[in-house]
């Protein structure tokens, strides 16, 4: 059940409603949008209804949320799209977040070079994996803590917020120290203890769609993070497995409008992993921007031919500038503004 507070409701009234919800054995999630404050009461509907909150001080009206995911549903924010800050950049609702960087952190010089290039090209954030979920246990698994340290250095050099993947809950403390956004990869989308773990951190979470997950399953996964009190979740379409074998995955661009209808959370597209080859990455990026995505997470490498991971799909750092310019212009047509701190864009 969603309890919509009156615009003029006082803090005391909001707290009183939340207390009554908790006292009834339900959990209360207070969410403050730009127009409205709503309280999500999660628990048995009968219990919430029995509280008689309709007409209580400060309460405007109650809306039952019929979807199995509650906090992630568009209804929960009464149609308002989520917008939040990550490292001084606004994300969601009219903003376009351009996240760029290598698949994996390989070397100090390469990481810093790519970070500087994408920062100069107007990227909003730097991506790079220190822990890599590889199909083969014999493939490079990431630099681990050393990789995190290099990402930290890249952040100090460029000011770009860091997006990096967590694959094992035992590494959460190390990752939290460096990450502004914790990436949960496609293979872990339904790793529920891991989702709850990142839900208890104060870092934003980029949740990638599982290889064969439905949108409802993706939103249920987001619910695990939101339920722990972490409101800054970004949904990411990265391609799904279909019968088609002409490319690595099928990029499901319809997930953009569909997720934006079902949920208030920002929708980011990864145009790199589905094609698996760089000559198709830009067209998929432009298509995602045109379809109204709230951002892109793209792989960029200073020397793709020598990359240890996902080189064939990486955009060479030397062409990032032009790529970013074209993505920005299409995002602008779709009514989005690339989110970088004021003064960074040339
Ligand atoms: C990645 O971003 O490098 C990655 C491994 O992504 P995914 O989980 O979507 O395969
Ligand atoms: Mn990759």
* pLDDT tens per residue across span 202-234: 999 999 999 999 999 999 999 999 999 999 999
Query: What pLDDT does 49 receive?
Result: 80
Ligand closest to 131 (CA) is 1
Count of CB atoms within 10 A of residue 79's CB? Answer: 11
Query: What pLDDT does 341 receive?
Result: 55
Closest CA to 165 of 196, 134, 195, 131: 131
First to last CA, the chain: 46
pLDDT tops 60 at residue 30 = yes
CA of 338 to the centre of ligand 1 (A): 23
Ligand closest to 134 (CA) is 1
Q: How far apart (Å, rounded) are the C-alpha atoms in residues 308 and 195?
A: 28
Query: What pLDDT does 99 receive?
Result: 98
Mean model confidence pLDDT for the chain: 95
Q: How far apart (Å, rounded) are the C-alpha atoms in residues 168 and 293?
A: 29
Ramachandran assignment for 42, one of left (phi > 0), alpha (psi -120 to 50 degrees), beta (any other): beta
**Extended beta strands in 6-55, E state:** 27-32, 37-42
Banded model confidence at residue 342, pLDDT cuts 50, 70, 90: very low
Query: What pLDDT does 340 receive?
Result: 59
Query: What pLDDT does 346 receive?
Result: 36
CA of 185 to the centre of ligand 1 (A): 5
249-278: average pLDDT: 98
Query: What pLDDT does 84 receive?
Result: 97
Query: What pLDDT does 338 receive?
Result: 77
For the entire predicted model, the pTM comes to 0.95
239 secondary structure, DSSP code:
-
Ligand 1 atom 6, closest CA: 185
Q: How far apart (Å, rounded) are the C-alpha atoms in residues 261 and 253?
A: 14
Residues with CB under 6 A from ligand 1: 103, 129, 133, 185-187, 208, 238, 270, 273
pLDDT in tens, 271-304: 999 999 999 999 999 999 999 999 999 999 999 9
Two structure tokens written together for 224: 């695990």
Q: Which long-range contacts (CB under 8 A, 24 or more apart) does 190-198 make?
A: 190/217, 190/221, 192/221, 192/224, 193/169, 194/166, 194/167, 194/168, 194/169, 195/221, 195/224, 195/225, 196/224, 196/225, 196/227, 196/228, 197/169, 197/172, 198/166, 198/172, 198/225, 198/230
CA of 103 to the centre of ligand 2 (A): 4
Banded model confidence at residue 345, pLDDT cuts 50, 70, 90: very low
Q: Above pLDDT 90, what percent of the chain?
A: 89
pLDDT in tens, 90-135: 999 999 999 999 999 999 999 999 999 999 999 999 999 999 999 9
Query: What pLDDT does 44 receive?
Result: 80
Query: What pLDDT does 300 receive?
Result: 98
Query: What pLDDT does 339 receive?
Result: 63
Ligand 1 pocket test, pick from 133, 184, 273 with the greatest ligand atom count within 8 Å of Cβ, gives: 273
Q: Are residues 198 and 233 in contact, defined by beta-carbon separation less than 8 angstroms?
A: no
pLDDT in tens, 236-255: 999 999 999 999 999 999 99
- 315: phi then psi, degrees, rounded to nearest 5: -80, 130
């Amino acid at each position: 059940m969603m309890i919509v507070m009156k615009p003029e409701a006082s803090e005391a009234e909001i707290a009183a409603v939340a207390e009554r919800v908790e006292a009834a054995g339900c959990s209360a999630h207070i969410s403050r949008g730009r127009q409205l404050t709503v309280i999500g009461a999660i628990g048995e509907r009968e219990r919430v209804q029995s509280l008689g909150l309709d007409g209580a001080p400060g309460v405007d009206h109650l809306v039952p949320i019929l979807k199995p995911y509650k906090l992630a549903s568009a209804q929960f924010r009464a149609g308002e799209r989520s917008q939040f800050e990550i490292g001084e950049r606004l994300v969601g609702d009219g903003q376009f977040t351009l996240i760029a960087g290598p698949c994996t952190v390989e070397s100090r010089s390469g990481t810093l070079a790519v970070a500087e290039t994408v920062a100069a090209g107007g990227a909003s954030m730097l991506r790079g994996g220190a822990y890599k979920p590889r199909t083969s246990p014999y493939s490079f698994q990431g630099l681990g803590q050393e990789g995190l340290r290099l990402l930290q250095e890249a952040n100090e050099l460029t000011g770009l917020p860091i997006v990096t993947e967590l694959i094992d809950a035992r590494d959460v403390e190390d990752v939290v120290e460096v990450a502004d956004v914790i990436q949960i990869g496609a293979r872990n989308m339904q790793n529920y203890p891991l989702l709850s773990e990142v839900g208890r951190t104060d870092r934003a979470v980029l949740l990638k769609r599982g290889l064969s997950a439905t949108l409802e399953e993706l939103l249920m996964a987001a619910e695990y993070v939101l339920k722990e009190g972490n409101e800054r979740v970004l949904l990411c379409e990265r391609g799904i497995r279909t019968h088609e074998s002409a490319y690595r995955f099928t990029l499901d661009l319809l997930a953009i409008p569909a997720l934006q209808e079902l949920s208030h959370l920002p929708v980011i597209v990864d145009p790199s992993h589905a094609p698996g080859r760089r000559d198709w990455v830009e067209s998929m990026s432009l298509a995602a921007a045109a379809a109204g995505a709230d951002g892109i997470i793209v792989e960029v490498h200073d020397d793709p031919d020598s990359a240890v991971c996902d080189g064939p799909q990486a955009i060479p750092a030397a062409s990032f500038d032009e790529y970013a310019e074209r993505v920005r212009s299409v995002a602008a047509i779709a009514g989005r503004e690339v989110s970088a701190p004021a003064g960074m864009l040339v």
